[in-house]
Amino acid sequence: MTYEVIDRLVRPANPVPDPRMLESVDVSVLQHERREQMQTQEPIQVDSVEESSRRGWLIGVAAALVVVIGAVVLFQMTGDSEVTSSDPAQGDVPVEQMATIRRLVDAINARDAGAFIDAFTAEGYFNPHGDFRESSSGFGNHQPVSQVSLVEAWMAIIHAWGLEADLLACSILTEADEIDGQRGNWGWPRSGPGASLVRCDVATRWQSLSLELTEGWVYEFRGTQLDNWGFVLLDLNPDERTLPLGYDGLEAWEAWLEANEPLSADRYLNPRVRPSEVQCDGCAEFEASLAPNDPELAARLGRLLWTAEKGWSIDGHEFFPGGLIPYDPAVANEIEASIHEYLEAK
């Protein structure tokens, strides 16, 4: 039935059954535009497959604290920047780049998939970074960011957890910052020469989990073009926060739930699975390096590297959550109630 229906109904409705029909279309506009653009556009250097794999590994390793929603783009600034140099978060970041940064934050807070995608153009989909990885944390698939249904599905997840991002401060990362791993950028790899990195400290409030973290959202620019966006975790337990729990608190809730409501724990929690060395070459060493003098802390941080046992599907997209927030968003309301119960009992 499958092909018979399509062959019989759809195939004959082809608006252009033969491309030669279009030979009469004036392509001089295309020629002219192409030549104009070609004279002004330098070809963009794209990394080799090997480099891509290496970066994929690097990002994978950094996934302990890094979540990547990669998408390489040609971001054409449209002006209309509402950001001024008096913006307290702006720091030394150029106004144009700051406008882009704010656009993405606003799109995420508004769950506006269209605005989110609009920050990225078609250019991005073929860069080695151009994967939009599916997971609760935006990590783990190989779909392009252009898919609005995928972005919407991802936004449904962050909506279930009530994510609210609050820009605190932004600054340009120097090469020295990258080399020595200072300022929490965890050696974020540049995609090539000429790229510049901006890192913004962001308070991320996961309202449904009563959880507040401080993250570093890293934006990779090439001039005014946004190449990449991702984030690192800067502080799992920020001292100054508006929500009751840091990550220590969330772990404590998990322990409380397992001890007091094992049946609920079975439903709500999602066991984290340590990747084998085959899957993640060098992960063990990286895990240990997270806290060289504190193996227990390193092991706790390492859990954020792991994948979760159970995934889920939204609108046909499969999600494979990472270790940071592995819970199924379908039970977000129940988890929220459970955490409130825990907070009252504490």
Binding footprint of another protein on the chain (CB under 8 A): 1-7, 9-16, 19-23, 25, 27, 29-30, 33-34, 37-38, 41, 43-44, 46, 114, 117-118, 121-123, 125-126, 142-144, 146-149, 316
Instruction: Give me the least distance between CB of 40 and another protein, in Å please.
Output: 11
Find out whether 305 and 323 touch, Cβ atoms under 8 Å: yes
Supply the minimum distance, in Å, between the C-beta of residue 31 and another protein: 9
For another protein, give the closer residue by CB, 151 or 269: 151
- Residue nearer to another protein on the CB measure, 113 or 283: 113
Three-class DSSP category at 226: strand
Cβ of residue 320: shortest distance to another protein, in angstroms?
16
Least Cβ distance, residue 101 to another protein (angstroms): 21
Q: How far is the CB of 343 from another protein (least distance, A)?
A: 36
Give least dist CB 34 to another protein, A: 6
- Minimum CB–partner distance for residue 133 and another protein (Å): 12
Phi/psi at 58 (5° precision): -60, -45
Report, in Å, the least distance between residue 79 CB and another protein. Answer: 17
For 278-345, the DSSP string reads TTSTTHHHHHHHTSTT-HHHHHHHHGGGSEES--EEETTEEE--BSSS-S-GGGHHHHHHHHHHHHHH
- Tokens 């092909």 — which residue? 3
3-state DSSP assignment of residue 99: helix
Of the candidates 147, 149, 194, 159, the one whose C-alpha atom is nearest the C-alpha of residue 175 is: 194
- Quick one: 121 or 224, whose CB is closer to another protein? 121
Contact criterion met (CB below 8 Å) for 219 and 100? yes
Distance CA 308, CA 185 (A): 25
Cα separation, 156 vs 141, whole angstroms: 16
Name 317's bridge partners: 314
CB of 261 to another protein, least distance (A): 29
Residue in the structure block whose two tokens are 């409030």: 205
**DSSP code at position 132:** B
Q: Which is nearer to another protein, 25 or 345 (CB)?
A: 25
List Cβ neighbours of 237 (8 Å cut-off, separation of 6 or more).
Answer: 246, 247, 248, 249
305: Cβ–Cβ under 8 A, 6 or more apart, which residues?
A: 61, 63, 64, 275, 280, 283, 286, 287, 322, 323
Q: 126 or 266, CB closer to another protein?
A: 126
Q: Which is nearer to another protein, 81 or 121 (CB)?
A: 121
